Structure 1
Amino acid sequence: MSHSPKDTNLLHPVMFAGTGSDVGKSVITAAFCRIFLQDGYRPAPFKAQNMALNSYATPEGLEIGRAQAVQAEAAGVPCHTDMNPLLLKPTTDKVCQVVLHGKPLGNRHAYEYFRVEGREELRKEVNDAFDRLALRYNPIVMEGAGSISEINLRAVDLVNMPMAMHAKANVILVADIDRGGVFASVYGSVMLLTGEERKYVKGILINKFRGDIRLFEPGIKMLEDLCGIPVIGVVPYYKDIYIEEEDSVMLQTKNLRAAHGKVNIAVVLLRHLSNFTDFNVLERDPRVHLYYTNNTDEIEKADIVLIPGSKSTLSDLYELRRNGVAQSIVKAHKNGATVVGICGGYQIMGQEVCDPNHVESDIERLPGLGLLPVTTQMEGDKVTRQVKFSFLGSQPVCEGYEIHMGTTTPVEDAESSPLNQLEDGRQDGYYLNEKCFGTYIHGILDNGEVIDSLLAPYAEKLSGVPFDFKAFKEDQYNKLADHVRRHVDMELVYRIMSYEL
């Protein structure tokens, strides 16, 4: 049932918080952004603090978590740093790069970052970002992080209940029934909240249900009786809707090996792989079979090898040399495969990567793959910007974004051979030939002209026709919204969001 904004005053914000990590908060948030858009509102997403390697450049050239960019797309609004004021990008198991309002502050050790000292300054920054966003959009669709009840971190939490209380948000607790233990996880999460915090939790959403929902109907009443909180819906698991994943954990399970009858594209599975969404269009293109691997045999079987971006280029280059993948990429190219590098992958394809100032690591220099006559110098300033460009002199304007540290230039005896001409007059990348080139531009493979050029040498293998990726994404957001709307009591949601706290 559709709900008109004329039916109510401005809505209170809603926060989708979780009983744990990976319960589906990001996708549920995207779904409600689209539902509110469909119902005539002007929603916007908000996540005070995100931890992810997958980031995106805003129109202003600043950096936010990719998940919030996806949610903004679902909401039909341009992404902005106020939607994700604090981004943590892991560099090791214990160290993160801290990005505040789209700009890196530097690296912080986890123990140092999560201290109480200095926490209020960051709290003010994220609260102010929310306040600015709430003046421009309604409703604000908020996302929590991890578990709502990490009681050991309560004093330093910026993103869950303290944020909900600042925003006067109605909290919907999202639980993943697929992993088991849903009653304990929901009840335990609620009971570990303080009495004041519990007042803000207005609904429970059970996510990723499989099977006959009638079997769970008694469980719904049990949960409501236990917690004193209504269950707003039970959302079934789906397989036929494609929304970007926030994390790259599952990449290695995708399409594990080469296939017959299509152009085989291997994406090198780097340890610090970032911006894996660069390959979403190719994953859906009916002409190709794309898989993620660091298996040397599978790389050598590929028609095209793509080297993705990396949060730690030197560390990943060192690992590629140690495990034999570097040699297999070079061998594949000698045997006729196309090799393309994006961002860190472009740096890796050159003659060398130098880091004399230890911007990235203690390694000062490593030889690259030697496929492109370029050298890279790591630098402290991070480049973040959206770009429009001409690919190999093509007329259609292509779009993408840059997020990188370092400058790549031709070696002394090499001629300049840019891949892209940017609208502002700058040049990007290096084009050796149709089977060997590199670029700093993320999202370059979202442009049909680029994909057609990439696949041109394999015309005899091509079958099917390319598709309109923007239209495809719009269709997926609408399918997701319809799926969630069918299984959630939206009238109850609207009543909850209209209540005064």
Structure 2
Amino acid sequence: MQRLKPIMLVGTGSDVGKSVLAAGLCRIFKQDGYCPAPFKGQNMSLNSYVTAEGLEMGRAQVVQAEAAGVPCHTDMNPVLLKPTSDQASQVIVNGKAIGQQSAHDYFKENDRSALLDTVKQAFDRLKVSYSPIVMEGAGSISELNLKHRDITNMRMAIHAGAATYLVADIDKGGVFGSVYGTIALLTPEERACMKGIIINKFRGDARLFIDGRRILEDLTGLPVVGVIPYFSNIYIEQEDSVALESKFRKAAEGRVNVAVVRLRRLSNFTDFDRLESDPRVNLYYSNEPSELARAAVILIPGSKNTLADMLDLRNNGAARAIVQAHKAGTTVVGICGGYQMMGETIADPLGVEGDIESIPGLGLLPIQTTLLPEKTTRQRAFTFREFPEPCEGYEIHMGQTVFTAPPSPVAIMDDQSMDGYWLNNNTWGTYLHGILDNDRVINYLLAPYANATSAKDLSFSEFKSAQFDRLAEIMRENLDIKTIYQTLKF
């Protein structure tokens, strides 16, 4: 099949919907017989994934790779920043952590030419095997104070020769000013990359925006190639923490209330997406003691700063509420950092996370954890408890956990090593991200509270694939796909 130029979605700002639309384009190109792959030069996110090679990358490009039907690889996201505090991030390059940097050091001190070369090399490797590359920018493309350090937006569009489309979120308001201003601030070289405008998250009848399309086209000289409706009935995994704002619901009647403890530095909230899509479950995020007390199941998630988040839980009363709920018979499960928090102590003698040297845990499991600089990142195949069905997950952690009681594993790995600690049916913890994507584990977790046979007879992977198809259908109905294809021809 004919090779196509790369296509790039850039934004008037953050959270305009670029990641979801890129996933939809990946699925459309796959449906049309091409072999697409996603690419984003730099991500900033606490949600990450481990590839088959044991390398770490952002979840957004993992989701887009799933939509494209191709294996994920770190070349799709060569630079990942994982914030450890308001002022610093762990920097991951080509899947490996290379250290911590303050925001000032990372964004201000140089033009990041070395990182830009790394990003270009990753893209160049990727384009050999895939066509078209579906590229995603970050934030706004017109941040004039940052453009000369850009490794994600227009410098990459120019390098790739990508047909570039500007995405604007009309639901935020101010769409005319943001689109016009963004285009007006581009250099002639950047402006030459631009092929059109996509209006996203339109509520109501799109025919009411006909005059708006004409005005934008007159102002910018670019065609509006689509007006995508606002939708909330299609599930596409979200990477950015801003997506959590819609998940801070409360306990409800009629379904199993599952509370995810809201941490300031919560990482990998995608661990709970399979549960959230389960019709038996009302899943919500909270650190309010009264809301935690109403849950049948409390899940303590991972954290990028476990000691600081543990201190926050003690200070805001959530730790006491979790312990009291546990004593009353509530199921409490910890994943990764949450597993560490369930133990007796968490120590950080080398200052891996910060200034807190040691802190008591919740005391629910007979374990003690010491944080170490070395990071464990690997995919895992395992069996859960006594059940023979194979399960899958992955590890991303920087701690060594020892038992103060005889071992009682949650999972047995395919190499016969043990993971986690199982105190009883209502109290256990694990290092395995993705453990709750496995139906065997989900049904076991919910068995005391709901009929396991009431779950939909559809695997999570099949469910996600169906959602990608629905997204592609909506985008085909509301985008000028023929015009987009014309801009991708060499």
Category of TM-score, reference length = shorter chain:
over 0.9
CA contact (8 A) 1:243 1:477 kept: yes
Provide the rounded CA distance (Å) in 1 between the counterparts of 2:341 and 2:6: 45
- Which residue pairs with 1:191 in the alignment? 184
Instruction: State the partner residue of 1:475.
Output: 466
Q: What is the TM-score of this pair, normalised by structure 1?
A: 0.96
Q: In structure 2, how many angstroms separate the alpha carbons of the residues matched to 1:264 and 1:237?
A: 28
Distance between the aligned counterparts of 1:455 and 1:68, measured in 2?
Answer: 31
Corresponding residue number in structure 1 for 2:432: 441
The equivalent of 1:465 in structure 2 is 455
Shift of 1:228: 1.2
Q: Please point out which of 26, 29, 42 is paired with 2:22.
A: 29
Determine if contact 2:38/2:65 at 8 Å carries over to the other structure.
yes
C-alpha contact 2:344 2:367 (8 A) present in aligned 1: yes
Which residue type is aligned with residue 158 of structure 2? M
Paired residues for 1:320-331 under 5 Å:
320-331=313-324
Q: Deviation per CA, 1:438-482, whole angstroms, max 9, x where unpaired?
A: 0000110000110111112224x7783244211110100000000
C-alpha separation between the residues in 1 aligned to 2:318 and 2:246? 19
Distance 2:13 2:241 in 1: 18
Paired AA for residue 423 in structure 2: L
Q: Once the two structures are superposed, what CA deviation does each residue of 1:115-138 show, in whole Å capped at 9, x if it has no partner?
A: 353611111100000000000110
**Deviation of the 1:373 alpha carbon:** 0.1
Deviation per CA, 1:178-201, whole angstroms, max 9, x where unpaired? 111111111111110101110000
Aligned equivalents of 2:195 and 2:243: distance in 1? 32
Greater alpha carbon shift after TM alignment, 222-231 vs 46-55: 222-231
1:352 matched to 2:308: no
Aligned to 1:146: 139
Whether contact under 8 Å (1:273, 1:310) holds in the other structure is yes
The alignment's TM-score, normalised by the length of structure 2, stands at 0.98
Match of 1:261 in 2: 254
Report the counterpart of residue 55 of structure 2 in structure 1: 62
In the alignment, the residues of structure 2 paired with residue 186 and residue 97 of structure 1 have an alpha-carbon distance, to the nearest angstrom, of 33
Contact kept? 2:120, 2:156, Cα under 8 Å: yes
Determine whether 1:392 maps to 2:392: no
Q: 2:124 aligns with which of 118, 122, 131?
A: 131
* Cα offset, 1:250, TM superposition: 4.0
1:27/1:250 Cα in 2 relative to 1: closer, same or farther (>3 Å)?
A: closer
Read off the aligned partner of 1:368 and give its amino acid letter.
Answer: G
CA distance in 2, matches of 1:284, 1:408: 32
For residues 115 and 458 of structure 1, what CA distance do their matches in structure 2 show? 52
Tell me the SS of whatever aligns to 2:119: helix
Paired with 1:255 and 1:378, the residues of 2 have a C-alpha distance of 30
Q: Is the 8 A contact 1:187 1:226 kept in 2?
A: yes
**Following the alignment from structure 2 to structure 1, what is the Cα–Cα distance between the partners of residues 452 and 280?**
5
Task: Name stretches of at least 5 consecutive residues in structure 1 with no aligned partner.
Answer: none
* Root mean square deviation of aligned Cα: 1.3
The residue type paired with residue 252 of structure 2 is A
Asked whether the equivalents of residues 37 and 130 of structure 2 are also in contact (C-alpha less than 8 Å), the reply is: yes
- Alignment-mate amino acid for residue 168 of structure 2: A
SS in 1 for 2:85: coil
283-292 or 475-484, which deviates more: 283-292
Larger mean CA deviation between 222-231 and 9-18 belongs to 222-231
Match of 1:283 among 276, 283, 292: 276
- Determine the C-alpha separation between the residues in 1 that align with 2:234 and 2:447: 29
Q: What amino acid maps onto 1:192 in structure 2? A: L
On the 8 A contact 1:283/1:290 being kept in 2, the answer is yes
**2:301·2:338 contact (CA, 8 Å) conserved in 1?**
yes
User: Aligned partners of 1:118, 1:342: CA distance in 2, in Å?
Assistant: 38
> Helix, strand or coil for the counterpart of 1:277?
helix
- Secondary structure of the residue that 1:20 maps to in structure 2? coil
SS in 2 for 1:242: coil
| Alignment counterpart, residue 402 of structure 1, candidates 371, 395, 401 | 395
Report if the CA contact (8 A) 1:15-1:164 is conserved.
yes
Task: Give identity over the alignment, percent.
Answer: 58
**Aligned-partner SS, 1:416:** coil
- Look up the equivalent residue of 2:12 and give its one-letter code: T
Per-residue CA deviations over 1:97-121 (Å, capped at 9, x if unaligned) read 1110011111111111113536111
Worse-superposed segment, 433-442 or 240-249: 240-249
Q: What letter matches 1:449 in structure 2?
A: R
Give the secondary structure class of the aligned counterpart of 1:11: coil
SS of residue in 1 equivalent to 2:124: helix
In structure 2, the residue matched to 1:485 is: 476
Equivalent-residue separation in structure 2 for 1:180 and 1:240 (angstroms)? 22
Range 224-233 or range 14-23, more displaced: 224-233
Query: Is 2:311 aligned against 1:318?
Result: yes
288-297 or 125-134: bigger deviation = 288-297
Which whole-Å CA distance do the structure 2 matches of 1:256 and 1:203 have between them?
Answer: 38
- How far did 1:252 drift? 4.7
Paired with 1:156 and 1:147, the residues of 2 have a C-alpha distance of 13
Aligned to 1:205: 198
